[in-house]
Structure 1
Amino acid sequence: MKNIIFFSLFLVLFQTSTVQAQDLLKSTDLSTLKVDYLSDSDIIKIKTQLQANNVTIDQAEPMALSKGMSAGEFSKLKARLAQFDTKKEPSKEGTKEGLKNSGKDSEEINRQKEFGRKQQEIVNLKIKDSLNALVFGSELFDNPTLNFEPNLKLATPVNYILGPGDELQVSVYGVQEFNASIPVSVEGKVTLQYVGEISVSGMSIEAATQRIKSAFARVYSTVASGQSQVSVSLSQIRTIKVTLIGSRQPGNYSISSLATVYNALFLGGGPAKNGSYRNIELLRNNKVYKTVDIYNFLVNGDQSDNVGLKDNDVIRIPAYNQRVTVEGEVKRPGIFEMKKGESFADLLRFASGFNEFAYTASVNVLQKTAKEFKVRDIKQSEFSTYNPVSGDVFNVTKILNRFENRIKIEGAVFRPNFYSFAAGMKVSDLISRAEGLKEDAYSKRGTIIRLKSDLSTEIVNFDVAKAVAGDPTENILLKREDNVTIYSVLTFREEFKVTIDGEVRNPGEYDYYDNLTLNDLIVQVGGLTGSASKRVEVARMITSEEIDDANPLKAQLYSIEISPTRNEQAKNFILKPFDVVSIRKMAVYEKPESITIIGAVNYPGKYALVKKKSTVYELIQRAGGLTSLANIEGVKIKRPIQAKQIEDLENVNVNLGKKDSIQDKLEKKLKEELKFATIPLDWQEIVKDQSISANVTLFAGDEIEVATFNEGVKVAGNVLLTSEIPYVKGKAFKYYLNAVGGVDGKGWKRKAYVIYPNGKASVTNSFLFFNAYPKVKPGSQIIVPEKPEVKKATVGELVGIGSVISSLALLIITAFR
């Protein structure tokens, strides 16, 4: 009963709307079922019927096998269903199926719309050929752009042989119209409505067209009378099976019925490791139909061997007979397969010939005998007669790195270069080729560096002037690879220099020339500066063949007076090599310098220092004196810190040790933080007596600051409240400290200090348990610093200290007993 249910389900499962499926699957014998001939629409129908009856393909397997279907065909059917599921799987956004087709499906749809023809998808996996990488021709099967796929854009070939799986587009147009896509059934027939079945298998498309026209003419009178026309074209191309033997991937391949031999070879990865590239056999009906030589295509581009394939064709790749290797200076080195009767000239043609560096007079070949190796040289005259033997290794070497007829001339000629050598050439001939001698040529001597027969070198000297004049003793006969040198007189001259320093625009070292004068040098350096003095010193080296110990001078000194305004010297002084010219500066030549006065003066601003020693009192008087709002205790000078002061500090070693950073911190503070040094002034004392030291002499860049009277006292630092407290006459230091809440937990009251308006500071003095705090004045600042962190002693350290004290006490008691 269970078998009957499965059989019924199986019949329902395989019913299809197409004539092909009905004729095939309604029979009880499934042994003739060919899954490869089923179209995609058949697969869709089978899948739909399986889902409708809630039956899986695995459940239908026993019944299909019992009805004669082979296990191999059922496996193919199962694979087709699985492959179809993968290919047609909808995207995650199922509401937009029409917009989510894969790239390949879209390409296929576009191709069908454009050409009206389609091809069943063929999937053949291929691996890269690495074993035959050096074999000539292997690259043909590794290049993905050379797959030799059939072109579906071509018109229907009139000699195309129809078979099961093809699909014809049959159209009748004119008085009567008919249009249908008719598949060729597995029996090789097409079924036309109202006409019947017509056998077309094994017929060309042209013959099938005539038969279909005849069939239509018997049914439609208008076709017979010519009032209606019949058109037959190929709308779908079938898949055929071919077998590859001896390829990298041997086996059965599904390919297009329009495919050729090269397409199948490409799918199979080309010949295997020992496969032949020149004797590939195409077997059809158990006979050799064609022998394929791939070299015809690789060397000549000839595709006459690339014939079309038919169903059940076998491509057999036998092992090679002869292979040889070409190495060295050829355009395409590698391993080549040779046929009987082919010569080394043919092999050279396969390798695309010699490259531009090849030695072509002869080629070395390493041959293999029955026992050992041997070497043979093939001369150029033997290239077309020598037949390579399997295993030969041809080595094409480079030409020698030497010249057959080269000669060289260099130096003081107009065209120094390499020239061709000819027998009988002399020195004058070579100089003439080089366009003659230059003006600076040294005419007394030229040299020839000559390569002797033992490859050692020798030098040959000649008189250049006599050689050019044709003197037979000096006009030496040249040889190949001679190197002729004509010297320049400039090479024998020392490069002299003169130096000029001081008040000129571009001091430095300059080239010396004959008859160079002092005035020439001054003009060359851009003239004198405005501060140049009329005094000029020229130091000249002393030269002598003998040492004069009585002469204490190292150089000879010349003093000259010049006019700075005209850049002319009193006399035309001629310079000599290595002279050192010094242009002095005027004794008095300084631009006016200025200082700045800011604050409570009547006329603040910049003031020029007109005296060599200008004091604070003089400059404040020039500024109109202090205003009524000035704080006479708030006068100070801010003096810029000079770079030399920092340099002096860096050069002083305070011997604080390598790890001590006090000096480094001080240098950093001067460079980065402090811009001025403050000089506090006692203005009241200066007014009383201008001769006292407090009346400081000013320098350029100084800034005098006169503070405005301020009755407040600022309190800052480690206090509870940073604030400014009004000054109260008679109140001491503690009053202002208490007014801001006192010091905080980190404040160091014993080290508090006061900064007065003139920049002077006063610190707290301590004696035993008593602190003497500084006096507070209007405009002062009270600063409470932070206590330094003190590491507390541990319990162990305290115990150790107690032990030491106990030991000392015991020692003292013992000593005084």
Structure 2
Amino acid sequence: MKKIITVIVLLVTLFQSSTATAQDLLKSTDLSTLKVDYLSDSDISKIKAQLQSNNVTIDQARPMALAKGMPASEFAKLKERLAMPTSKKEVVKPYDKDGNESNDQEQEYGRAQEKIINNKVKDSINSLIYGSQLFDNPTLNFEPNLKLATPVNYILGPGDELQISVYGVQEFNASTPVTIEGKISIQYVGEIVVSGMTIESATQKIKAAISRVYSTVPSGQSQVSVSLSRIRTIKVTIIGGKQPGNYSISSLATVYNALFLAGGPGKNGSYRNIELIRNNKVYRTVDIYDFLVKGDQSSNIGLKDNDVIRIPAYTQRVTVEGEVKRPGIFEIKKGESFSDLLLFASGFNDFAYTAAVNVLQKTGKEFRVLDIKDSDFNTYQPLSGDVFKVTKILNRFENRIKIDGAVFRPNTYSFYEGMRVSDLIAKADGLKEDAYSNRARIIRLKSDLTTEIVNVDLAKALQGDLESDLTLRREDKVTVYSVLDFVEKFKITIDGEVKDPDVYDYHEGLTLNDLLIQAGGLTGSASKRVEVARMIVSEEIDDANPNKVQLFNLEIDAAHNEQLKNFALQPFDVVNVRKMAFYEKPEMVTISGAVNYAGKYVLATKKDRVYDVVQRAGGLTSLANVAGVKIKRPIKVKEIEEIESVDLNLGVLKKEKLPVAVRDSISNRVKDSIQNSSFKKMNEVVKYATIPVDWKSIVKNPNNNTNVILFPGDEIEVAAFNEGVKVTGNVLLTSEIPYEKGRGFGYYLSSVGGVDAKGWKKKAYIIYPNGKAAVAHSFLFFKSYPKVTPGSQIIVPEKPVTKKMTTGEVVSIGSVIASLALLIVTAFK
């Protein structure tokens, strides 16, 4: 009950405020006509303060307000207004449409401004017009910076909002807008007219009015602060822009800001004679080129309400093409010269021909061409429609001369009239030691641009003989030969038992000892025998001598990389250092599986066999499968290539029986099928050959043929006993079936569901534990399958894919058969 009485008292106090504004709006207890939109921020601040002082929330006051006749929609507005910030202390950061916290600068600093959004449209048609890029760039704008202090000359008007604070002994804080009548209302102070006053003058006037109410202000015990918390929006009109119309912009906005919003001048708009009209008079003429060329913003002045920006049509435009830094379309004022236009285009680039500029002009009837020399750049005044074409400099040199070859500084040098060969050589720091002084060459460019060769006696030219010391011309290319150019580069070859066998350069005086050291010395397997082969050189052919080379057999001390007699070599000799007759490093084999001591074993003799190594490994264990001993022998890459290159001999394809095209077609298809499934698999997967071993027979007779001689790298595998039989390949279920004595091939295939659609049952085969394979055999209508043993593996291959013969091939075969039949009939007549 106490809380209800408190709410009633609060509402009576709230709606019968002693302030003039509150009394005017809410002098009656009937709230049915209340419009929240008409309440000022000051009224909202008072209501909020009273709710806080009585410790009542707006939701608790809702029943009483509705009982007084206040519409629910108006109460919702009131609740929303109370939730909004009304002073600097209550600034709440806004949230964007996605619910993310906004970083607007005006909210951060407590100064608000209506957000102006303008979608920029890239103007591709007028992109060449100089200055258009200033207004097409979405990241560039001229919005006023609300972080800056309020200008002291800022003129207040309706829509602005002032933040007034009294701090010190007495305190007061309120945000009050400038009303339509140009007044602000301060509690206990009253209304003050501030419209049309600068912020500085208004501050002094407000302080004086507050001093009359707050006694501590005149004494200095309290201070008064006045700041601009919200900036009003003004209306300006833009004519002649890409997006002409009326715009609502900040009262701090400038001319460039408004032009940016309008997208800049239109298609035919001027960039240099933009008029700012204020009070029906041209207040300022704006030339955007001042900003673009000089960075001068003196004409970028602030706008006022109802200003008009008029963009007239351009008077003169010209085009600059070619070798300038900024080609494009430029607007020219009366009295400006080509030098001014060149300044707008940022000048010539590095490859421009600057002696003259070509101009394409338009007369009343036709075109005409004019050349402007560099001396006339400051006086020539462009005409509207002129097209200036700046060309490239010529790809030629006016004073170039070149020297290369056996000089210390071969390069390109500057030419001058009267230059001679000796002068150019002196510029190149003289001849090198290997220079060929009997002759030098000049490649000269003739007047018709063809070339000729002029020879120079270089020795006489350098001795001062003027006839030999020829006068040079522009673009001459002088070549000084080197004696090394005429010397054949001799080589020498060394091979055999040296560390770096290779072909080396031959030098005069090279000996066998020198070459051996250059080749890194001898290897440990080198013998004392060295053979040197030397080519036979003769002016005449000696038919009686069958030898192609001359051989020298030498002996060296292999331990010291030296020969007994130092042998001098000659160009193109071939040196071979022989290997020792017997020099083999220990080589090993590997044994793994069910043996007592698995691992690697060195081949002790040249004829070590399987039985020998197994015995050295401690023999087979009790778990070994005596039928599962095999040898895996690595296959060399060369052997795989030889197998793949074998030409399959298909006996059914006889050259005399079928045409070549038909025979080759059938042969290729069969070869592709077999090679793709066999050779490719062997090349990619199988890198070794399997040799089955009959261990039982070897134990009985070590001379059994399966007791083979081992090679280095061989791997002996002894499988552990396994009672299962694996069935793989093209079967319905790949599995391992327990071995049953007496069961045959078909039993195990049936146990996995049989073969699938691609299975080739008649070509099924079995691989025994020792690596031996067996296939099914057929005789007449009887088919016998190999015996199945424990640990074996049954494999069902895939049927080969064969292509059907084409109609042409069938016709060709039919023709051959008909021809053969005709021959047979003819033979028996």
Q: Same fold (TM over 0.5)?
A: yes
The match for 2:633 is 640
> 1:107 and 1:259 mapped to 2: Cα distance?
22
Residue 323 of structure 1 and its aligned partner are, at CA, apart by 0.8
Q: Which stretch of the first structure deviates more once superposed, 252-261 or 172-181?
A: 172-181
Q: Structure 1 residues 595 and 139, CA, compared in 2 at 3 Å: closer, same or farther?
A: closer
> 1:368 and 1:652 mapped to 2: Cα distance?
83
Q: Structure 1 residues 741 and 396, CA, compared in 2 at 3 Å: closer, same or farther?
A: closer
Q: Tell me, what secondary structure is at the counterpart of 1:118?
A: coil
Say whether the 8 Å CA contact 1:723–1:740 is kept in structure 2. Answer: no
- Identity over the aligned pairs, expressed in percent? 62
Q: Structure 1 residues 493 and 421, CA, compared in 2 at 3 Å: closer, same or farther?
A: same
**Partner amino acid, structure 1, of 2:482:** S
After TM superposition, the structure 1 = structure 2 runs for residues 750-769 of structure 1, keeping only pairs within 5 Å, are: none
> 1:227 and 1:632 mapped to 2: Cα distance?
112
The match for 1:478 is 472
Residue 41 of structure 1 and its aligned partner are, at CA, apart by 9.7
Say whether the 8 Å CA contact 1:751–1:785 is kept in structure 2. Answer: no
Q: Of residues 701, 709, 715 in structure 2, which corresponds to 1:698?
A: 709
Residue 721 of structure 1 and its aligned partner are, at CA, apart by 9.4
The match for 1:451 is 445
Q: Of residues 232, 235, 253 in structure 1, which corresponds to 2:229?
A: 235
Query: 1:320 and 2:334 equivalent?
Result: no
Q: Of residues 742, 750, 755 in structure 2, which corresponds to 1:745?
A: 750
The match for 1:678 is 692
Provide the aligned C-alpha RMSD in A.
5.3
After TM superposition, the structure 1 = structure 2 runs for residues 282-293 of structure 1, keeping only pairs within 5 Å, are: 282-293=276-287
Q: Structure 1 residues 537 and 361, CA, compared in 2 at 3 Å: closer, same or farther?
A: same
Q: Tell me, what secondary structure is at the counterpart of 1:558?
A: strand
> 1:453 and 1:227 mapped to 2: Cα distance?
100
After TM superposition, the structure 1 = structure 2 runs for residues 503-522 of structure 1, keeping only pairs within 5 Å, are: 503-522=497-516
Query: 1:574 and 2:568 equivalent?
Result: yes
Query: 1:361 and 2:362 equivalent?
Result: no
**Partner amino acid, structure 1, of 2:421:** V
> 2:231 and 2:117 mapped to 1: Cα distance?
15
Say whether the 8 Å CA contact 1:637–1:681 is kept in structure 2. Answer: no
After TM superposition, the structure 1 = structure 2 runs for residues 276-425 of structure 1, keeping only pairs within 5 Å, are: 276-425=270-419
Say whether the 8 Å CA contact 2:698–2:707 is kept in structure 1. Answer: no
The match for 1:264 is 258
The match for 1:77 is none
Say whether the 8 Å CA contact 2:420–2:469 is kept in structure 1. Answer: yes
Q: Tell me, what secondary structure is at the counterpart of 1:353?
A: coil
Residue 269 of structure 1 and its aligned partner are, at CA, apart by 0.9
> 2:776 and 2:209 mapped to 1: Cα distance?
132
Say whether the 8 Å CA contact 2:723–2:791 is kept in structure 1. Answer: yes
**Partner amino acid, structure 2, of 1:737:** G
Alpha-carbon deviations, 1:290-315, whole Å to 9, x = none? 11111122212222211111111111
Say whether the 8 Å CA contact 1:344–1:385 is kept in structure 2. Answer: yes
Q: Structure 1 residues 424 and 117, CA, compared in 2 at 3 Å: closer, same or farther?
A: same
> 2:597 and 2:252 mapped to 1: Cα distance?
108
Q: Which stretch of the first structure deviates more once superposed, 438-447 or 675-684?
A: 675-684
The match for 2:142 is 148
> 1:397 and 1:284 mapped to 2: Cα distance?
47
**Partner amino acid, structure 1, of 2:690:** F
**Partner amino acid, structure 2, of 1:305:** S
Say whether the 8 Å CA contact 1:639–1:701 is kept in structure 2. Answer: no
Alpha-carbon deviations, 1:660-701, whole Å to 9, x = none? 5557766546971754313437768976xx9x7759673444
> 2:389 and 2:586 mapped to 1: Cα distance?
89
Residue 563 of structure 1 and its aligned partner are, at CA, apart by 3.0
Q: Of residues 520, 525, 531 in structure 2, which corresponds to 1:526?
A: 520
Say whether the 8 Å CA contact 1:190–1:200 is kept in structure 2. Answer: yes
Q: Structure 1 residues 128 and 631, CA, compared in 2 at 3 Å: closer, same or farther?
A: closer
Q: Tell me, what secondary structure is at the counterpart of 1:545?
A: coil
Q: Structure 1 residues 108 and 165, CA, compared in 2 at 3 Å: closer, same or farther?
A: farther
Q: Structure 1 residues 511 and 186, CA, compared in 2 at 3 Å: closer, same or farther?
A: same
> 2:619 and 2:300 mapped to 1: Cα distance?
114
After TM superposition, the structure 1 = structure 2 runs for residues 160-199 of structure 1, keeping only pairs within 5 Å, are: 160-171=154-165, 179-193=173-187, 196-199=190-193
Say whether the 8 Å CA contact 1:596–1:701 is kept in structure 2. Answer: no
Q: Determine which structure has more spread, i.e. the larger CA radius of gyration.
A: 1
Say whether the 8 Å CA contact 1:686–1:694 is kept in structure 2. Answer: no
> 1:574 and 1:407 mapped to 2: Cα distance?
48
Residue 500 of structure 1 and its aligned partner are, at CA, apart by 1.9
Uncovered stretches (5+) of structure 1, i.e. residues with no partner: 1-14, 27-35, 57-80, 89-96, 726-735, 792-817
Residue 248 of structure 1 and its aligned partner are, at CA, apart by 0.8
Alpha-carbon deviations, 1:605-647, whole Å to 9, x = none? 9887676666789x59996999999999979784735537656
Q: Structure 1 residues 538 and 21, CA, compared in 2 at 3 Å: closer, same or farther?
A: farther
> 2:583 and 2:354 mapped to 1: Cα distance?
85
> 2:217 and 2:628 mapped to 1: Cα distance?
129
Q: Which stretch of the first structure deviates more once superposed, 568-577 or 407-416?
A: 568-577
Uncovered stretches (5+) of structure 2, i.e. residues with no partner: 1-14, 28-36, 48-61, 85-91, 651-666, 729-734, 756-760, 801-829
Say whether the 8 Å CA contact 2:160–2:177 is kept in structure 1. Answer: yes
Alpha-carbon deviations, 1:170-205, whole Å to 9, x = none? 456678765543322212233444554443333333
Alpha-carbon deviations, 1:284-338, whole Å to 9, x = none? 1111111111112221222221111111111111101111111122222211111
Q: Which stretch of the first structure deviates more once superposed, 491-500 or 546-555?
A: 546-555
> 1:124 and 1:16 mapped to 2: Cα distance?
45
Say whether the 8 Å CA contact 2:526–2:579 is kept in structure 1. Answer: yes
Q: Structure 1 residues 501 and 104, CA, compared in 2 at 3 Å: closer, same or farther?
A: same
> 2:591 and 2:367 mapped to 1: Cα distance?
106
Q: Tell me, what secondary structure is at the counterpart of 1:264?
A: helix
**Partner amino acid, structure 1, of 2:425:** I
> 2:213 and 2:722 mapped to 1: Cα distance?
128
> 1:150 and 1:203 mapped to 2: Cα distance?
21
The match for 1:69 is none
Q: Which stretch of the first structure deviates more once superposed, 753-762 or 516-525?
A: 753-762
> 1:584 and 1:510 mapped to 2: Cα distance?
19
Q: Structure 1 residues 684 and 447, CA, compared in 2 at 3 Å: closer, same or farther?
A: closer
Residue 368 of structure 1 and its aligned partner are, at CA, apart by 0.8
**Partner amino acid, structure 1, of 2:372:** I
Say whether the 8 Å CA contact 2:774–2:786 is kept in structure 1. Answer: yes
Q: Of residues 245, 255, 273 in structure 1, which corresponds to 2:249?
A: 255
Q: Which stretch of the first structure deviates more once superposed, 765-774 or 447-456?
A: 765-774
Q: Tell me, what secondary structure is at the counterpart of 2:742?
A: helix
The match for 2:10 is none
**Partner amino acid, structure 2, of 1:579:** D
> 1:673 and 1:439 mapped to 2: Cα distance?
61
Q: Structure 1 residues 140 and 37, CA, compared in 2 at 3 Å: closer, same or farther?
A: farther
The match for 1:733 is none
Q: Structure 1 residues 37 and 411, CA, compared in 2 at 3 Å: closer, same or farther?
A: farther
The match for 1:76 is none
Q: Structure 1 residues 224 and 740, CA, compared in 2 at 3 Å: closer, same or farther?
A: closer
Q: Which stretch of the first structure deviates more once superposed, 398-407 or 257-266?
A: 398-407
Say whether the 8 Å CA contact 1:753–1:764 is kept in structure 2. Answer: yes
Q: Which stretch of the first structure deviates more once superposed, 256-265 or 744-753?
A: 744-753
**Partner amino acid, structure 2, of 1:340:** K
Q: Structure 1 residues 501 and 323, CA, compared in 2 at 3 Å: closer, same or farther?
A: same
Q: Which stretch of the first structure deviates more once superposed, 456-465 or 152-161?
A: 152-161
Residue 576 of structure 1 and its aligned partner are, at CA, apart by 2.2
Say whether the 8 Å CA contact 2:361–2:387 is kept in structure 1. Answer: yes
After TM superposition, the structure 1 = structure 2 runs for residues 775-786 of structure 1, keeping only pairs within 5 Å, are: 781=790
Alpha-carbon deviations, 1:323-379, whole Å to 9, x = none? 111112222221111111111111112222222222222111111110111111111
Residue 152 of structure 1 and its aligned partner are, at CA, apart by 2.5
